[in-house]
Homo-oligomer: A and B are copies of this chain.
Amino acid sequence: MALIVQKYGGSSVGSIEKIRKVAERVIEACESGNRLVVVLSAMAGQTDALIKLSKEIAETPDSRELDVLMATGEQVSVSLFAMAVKSMGYDCRSLLGFQAAIHTDQIYGKARIRNIDTDRLLKELDKNRIVAVAGFQGIDEGRNITTLGRGGSDTTAVALAAALKADLCEIFTDVEGVFSADPNICTHAKKLKRISHEEMLELASLGAKVLEIRSVEFAKKFNVPIHVRSSFTRNEGTMVVSENKEMEKVMVSGVVFDRNQARITMVKVPDRPGIAFKIFDPVFKAGIVVDMIIQNTSAEGLVDLTFTVTKTDFQETLELVREVAKEIGAEKVLGDQNIAKVSIVGLGMRNHAGVATTMFEALSKDNINISMISTSEIKISCVIEEKYTELAVRALHEAFGLGDEKEKN
């Protein structure tokens, strides 16, 4: 008898009818001889409605109380789900964060799970009950309600699977799985049968919105196999699993892009020790994440320093950096929001030479200029002009033979 953790997102439980469908699907898995823990998000729209309500009462709602408010969303879905299951003749219990003993730190709004005390969960499972756990929420040392931040239900599911040593964690979502590229851009994009946690991490952090990144970190750390699949079809989705030898044969698994990027260049910076710290310290202190950083020597004793941030942080960063530029006597600061980042990800890169060359060649063929490059062990990212995004994704997808016609997995 396998133990399976299933997670259904907001769109999968967006109405009474959909909750009933989810209940049927869970019961089916139960009937096949499995024990089931089901993690649910708030009904679609609910979270936004609650945020709106909080903004009506206070411009900057208190973060502790915001978590108390937000946690009601999942409380509603799990209780309705449990009612549906029970009305179908199966035993079921809903558990909230404090009941499932999901202990977190005290960072309201984006708490991190520290540990899960599985006593209560196991007790309910031992009574042959389907256990419905409210996603996204936990409890801190002082028994205050915390929430894990947007997409936190994925993390709840993976963390539960890890704590319960579940055989599988199934993430049901509104897409069919993880694709070699965005199917809206590449009509030939192929659903990947299997990728590694490492690749999924790169894909998640690069903008593929299938799985919340922290959930993948958790899955990697505790070696939890995840099955990402659609809640609206019966098709097999994508298995996200521990790396194995077989996988390394594949050079590139997917192409992703991120339009939420902007570039800032500080021109002619006097090159002195500690200058980088001086420039980035106020940026980091403002909680802004800097992605790529490139430094070129421009003239004797002077350097140009270029880096990227999200478009969201662009204006604030520009102001901070202009301040610093004056202080340290840099010539000027330039900004550009018309950029995008395209990346290729694949375990095989480690052992295959020439992957970068193929990438650069494919882009140059279509006259796409590369303005920044960054690489990791299993990923290469290029910054290009934003208007070329789709073209670049299609060119790379084809260059690495990722499409439907050439089955690769």
The one of B57, B72, B145 in contact with A84, judged by C-beta atoms closer than 8 angstroms, is: B57
Within 8 A of B (CB), among A67-117: 68-69, 71-72, 75-76, 78-80, 82-84, 86-87, 93-94, 96, 98-99
A94 and B80 contacting across the interface, CB-CB below 8 Å:
no
Name the distance in Å between A359's Cβ and chain B's nearest Cβ.
Answer: 50
Known A-B contacts A16-B53, A56-B16; the reply to A78 vs B84 at CB < 8 A is: no
- The answer to whether B58 touches A87 (Cβ under 8 A) is yes
Decide if A83 touches B57 in the complex (CB within 8 Å).
Answer: yes
Nearest opposing residue in chain B for A88, CB measure: B58
Contacting residue for A96 out of B19, B68, B94, B120, CB 8 A: B68
- List chain B residues, Cβ under 8 A from A76: 50, 53, 69, 72
Q: Is A64 an interface residue, CB under 8 A from the partner?
A: yes
Return the contact of A65 from the options B59, B60, B62, B79 (Cβ within 8 A): B79
- With CB as the reference atom, state the residue of chain B lying closest to A23: B57
- Say yes or no: is A54 at the interface (Cβ < 8 Å to chain B): yes
Q: Are A20 and B57 in contact (CB under 8 A)?
A: yes
Closest to A20 in B: B57
Question: Does the CB pair A75–B72 fall under 8 Å?
Answer: yes
- The distance in angstroms between the C-alpha atoms of A143 and B117, with both chains bound, is 14
User: Does A61 belong to the interface (CB within 8 Å)?
Assistant: yes
Indicate whether A66 reaches chain B with its CB closer than 8 angstroms: yes
Whether A80 lies near B64 (C-beta < 8 A) is no
Whole-angstrom distance from the CB of A340 to the nearest CB of chain B?
A: 38
CA distance A86 to B64 in the complex (A): 11
Q: Which residues of B contact A69 (CB under 8 A)?
A: 75-76, 79-80, 83
Q: For the complex, what is the distance from the CA of A143 to the CA of B120, rounded to whole Å? A: 10
Contact A61 to B75, CB < 8 A, known contacts A16-B53, A143-B99: no
Chain B residue numbers with a CB within 8 Å of A87 are 57-62
Are A65 and B82 in touch, CB under 8 angstroms? yes
Measured CB to CB, the residues of A under 8 A from B are 16, 19-20, 50, 53-54, 56-62, 64-66, 68-69, 71-72, 75-76, 78-80, 82-84, 86-87, 93-94, 96, 98-99, 120, 143-145
Name the 9 nearest CB pairs between A and B, nearest first: A58-B87, A68-B79, A69-B79, A72-B72, A62-B86, A65-B82, A65-B79, A61-B83, A58-B83
Can you pick out 7 interface pairs between chain A and chain B where the beta carbons lie within 8 Å of each other? A57-B83, A58-B86, A68-B82, A69-B75, A71-B75, A72-B76, A99-B144
